[in-house]
Every structure is written in structure tokens, then in C-alpha cells.
Amino acid sequence: MNIYTSLNKMLEYIEENLGNEIKYSELAKILGINESILQRFFSVLCNISLSDYIRKRRLSNAGQDLIEGKEKIIDIAMKYQYESSTSFSRAFEKFHGIKPSQVKKGLAPLKIFYKLHFEEKNEENENIQYTIIEREKMILYGMKVETSIEGLKKDAPYFCKEMSIKYGGDFRYGMTEYVSRFGDDKCYFWVLYDKYKKGFEEYKIPESKWISIRINSQEAKDIQKTIRRFYAEFIPSSKYKIRELPELEYYHDNITDFLVPIEV
């Protein structure tokens, strides 16, 4: 089955259960992937974190419920899985720019966050070529920038350029570190060197086996295209179990190796 068909089925499941607890194990089952990589999988293909998507769809619907005026604020808060009317009001105001109690007064327009839908076709016809490599424990040094799932595509290449100007262009790795598997939208992008330079943080990467996909470019757009194809095509078709470690972009000889840690 085309992965976008499965994604649409998962999005329909989310839509039908916005007023209920949504179990990530069920979402992973619909997609046919490991629950451990669900967050990365969804964010790469949808450009938004899974938790943020669900939160915004709930708040979007909550605004429409308030306009209809058939339910109390506390009932709507409970319906969309908020523990109290206070936490709901805080989230609602941050999203819509207006308090729930002000909706009926018509003091400001509400926002709508559209449900995602994918065209169920795959225009790629070139197979992804890969190798399995084994690497010993690595100790790397560098700096990170805080960003978001949506901001990563812009912030990562900008930070690479900034680090190259300030510390030299001999960095070897780029790495995206997610704050939590199913948490908020926040993540970090690291630029890492083989050697320590003043002000750098140390990052230890354990011994592992890796899927290695070669990209004949170091341009951000080419790397991002390959990563998207990896999640859309390779993951649903493979039996490899992805480890809960960050993926690496290894830059060398004017090419990039996209490295994904696996359990074998």
C-alpha cells in the first residue's frame, strides 16, 4: 500500500478521535511502522510534529464548538483532553488569540487549522540504494541551535553556514535531536566536528550499525529530499528496526552520507 494512503487513513483515525484519547501505538499500527520512530516519520513527511498537529486540530474544532454554543467551556475542555478549563483557556488563547469566554462576544476572528490530506500517488521510480555499515563509539564536538519541526529546513542550513564562518568549514556531521518522542515541536540541530574547539559541547554517539545512503551533494534541498524519500519509501518497505538515536548527516568529499542507526 502507498504510504500516503496509510497516512490518510491515520489522519482520518485522528479526526474521528479528537474527542478521545489517541494512542500512538494505534497510529503506528495503521502506518505499519515502529512506534519508536513515529514522531520522526510524521514530522519529516508532514512538516509538523504529531502532537502539535493533534493539538491544533483539537483547538481548531473547539473554536467551532464554542460558536455553536451547545456546550460549556469546561465540557469542551474535557472533550479535547484538557485536564482543566484553565489549561484549555491558556492553550485556546495562544492558538486563537482570544479567550474562550470572549468567543460569543465576537471580539476577534477565530483560526482554523486544516486537516492534512495527501495525494495518494508516488512519482518516484528510482530505487534507494543503501549499505549497512558498523561504526565504533564516536565522541564529537560542536554546538546546537534550538528550532522546531517546521523551522528545521530553514534553520539547519543557516546554522551550518554560520558555524562555518565562525569556526571553519571542516565540520563533519549535522544531527537533528528531538526533545521527546511524542512531545512538543521543539528540536535541536547540531553541527559537529571531530576535534574540540573552545566553547563546544561534547556529544557521545554509541557503537552502532547504520543504514548509509549516499547523496551526491551537500546542498540542503538534496539532503532533505533524500530524507523524505527514506521515510516515505524505504521505512514502510524494510524490516529494519530503527534505534532511538539521532540520525547523522556525514559530510565528506563534496558528498553526504545519510546515516540511520539500526538494531541488528
CATH number of the domain where residue 177 is located? 3.20.80.10
Split into its structural domains, the chain has a count of 2
User: Does residue 86 sit in the same domain as residue 201?
Assistant: no
Report the interhelical angle of 3-16 vs 50-68 (nearest 10°).
40
Predicted confidence at residue 207, as pLDDT, reads 94
Domain of residue 163 covers 131-263
Predicted confidence at residue 150, as pLDDT, reads 84
Predicted confidence at residue 106, as pLDDT, reads 67
**pTM > 0.95: yes or no:** no
Which domain CATH number covers 90? 1.10.10.60
User: Does residue 170 sit in the same domain as residue 87?
Assistant: no
What confidence tens digit (pLDDT) does each residue in 158-187 have?
A: 999 999 999 988 999 999 988 766 666 788
> Comparing C-alpha atoms, which of 144, 164, 169, 131 is closest to residue 246?
144
> How long, in residues, is the chain?
264
In DSSP terms, which residues pair with 173 in a beta bridge?
A: 192, 250
| Rounded Cα–Cα distance for residues 100 and 79 (Å) | 14
| Rounded Cα–Cα distance for residues 195 and 155 (Å) | 24
User: Is residue 221 in a domain?
Assistant: yes
User: Does residue 164 sit in the same domain as residue 100?
Assistant: no
Using H for helix, E for strand and C for coil, what is the string for 206-223? CCEEEEEEEECCCCHHHH
User: Is residue 115 in a domain?
Assistant: no
pLDDT band of 109, cuts 50, 70, 90: confident
Predicted confidence at residue 84, as pLDDT, reads 93
